[in-house]
Amino acid sequence: MKVIGAFVLIFLLSISLSLAMDILLGFKFSRAATHLLNPFWVMDAGENVMLLFFLLITIAQLIFVIKKNKTNKQKGSS
């Protein structure tokens, strides 16, 4: 759970830093948000598949670790 919290915190801080830099450069908020999302709009199909694959691997690993910890706790408490 700490890993997920740290990931979310770093993710939000990096997004806010990127938005703040664009706003300080003189762009409006809507244009700064467009700059933030632009790399995802210009990706090819293969790049989208690889991004999805890496996200699925990350989620599957978290689920595996949670299930493994749950079974270890059940075996240890019996």
Task: Report domain extents, the chain.
Answer: 1-41, 43-78
Inform me whether the pLDDT recorded for 78 exceeds 60: no
Distance CA 60, CA 43 (A): 24
Relative orientation angle of helices 2-24 and 29-41, to the nearest 10 degrees: 120
For position 25, what pLDDT does the model report?
A: 95
The residue to which tokens 């703040």 are assigned? 20
**Can you read off the two tokens belonging to residue 47?**
């790049």
In a 3-state reduction of DSSP, which class is residue 52?
helix
- Residues 12-34 have pLDDT tens digits of 999 999 999 999 999 999 999 99
For position 77, what pLDDT does the model report?
A: 63
- Residues 36-69 have pLDDT tens digits of 888 888 889 999 999 999 999 999 998 999 999 9
